[in-house]
Amino acid sequence: MRIENLDTEKRNPNSLQIDRVSTAEMLRIINQEDQTIAQQVGEKLELIAEAVDQGSARYKKGGRLIYIGAGTSGRLGLLDAVELVPTYGISPDRAIGLIAGGNQAFVRAVEGAEDSKELAVEDLKAISLSKEDVVIGLAASGRTPYVIGGLEYANDIGALTIAISCNPQSQIGQIAIIPIDVPVGPEVVTGSTRMKAGTAQKMILNMISTGIMIKLGYVYQNLMINVQTTNEKLVDRGIRIICEATGSSRQKAAETMKLTNNEVNTAIVMIEKKLDVDQARTLIKDNEGALAKIID
Domain boundaries, the chain: 5-215, 219-295
Catalytic residue among 9, 25, 43, 114: 114
pLDDT along the chain (296 residues), means of 10: 78 93 97 96 98 97 97 95 93 96 76 84 97 97 95 98 96 97 95 94 98 94 91 92 95 94 94 95 91 89
Catalytic residue among 9, 50, 83, 244: 83
pLDDT at position 106? 76
pLDDT at position 55? 98
Distances (CA, A) of 293 to 121, 262, 280: 41, 22, 13
Residue 267 in contact with residue 253, Cβ under 8 Å?
A: yes
pLDDT at position 9? 87
83 is annotated as an active-site residue = yes
pLDDT at position 288? 87
232 is annotated as an active-site residue = no
Taking alpha carbons only, the member of 275, 274, 278, 273 closest to residue 294 is 273
Q: How far apart are CA 76 and CA 289, in angstroms?
A: 28
pTM for this prediction: 0.92
pLDDT at position 1? 58
- CATH 3.40.50.10490 holds for 5-215: yes
- CATH 3.40.640.10 holds for 219-295: no
pLDDT at position 111? 66
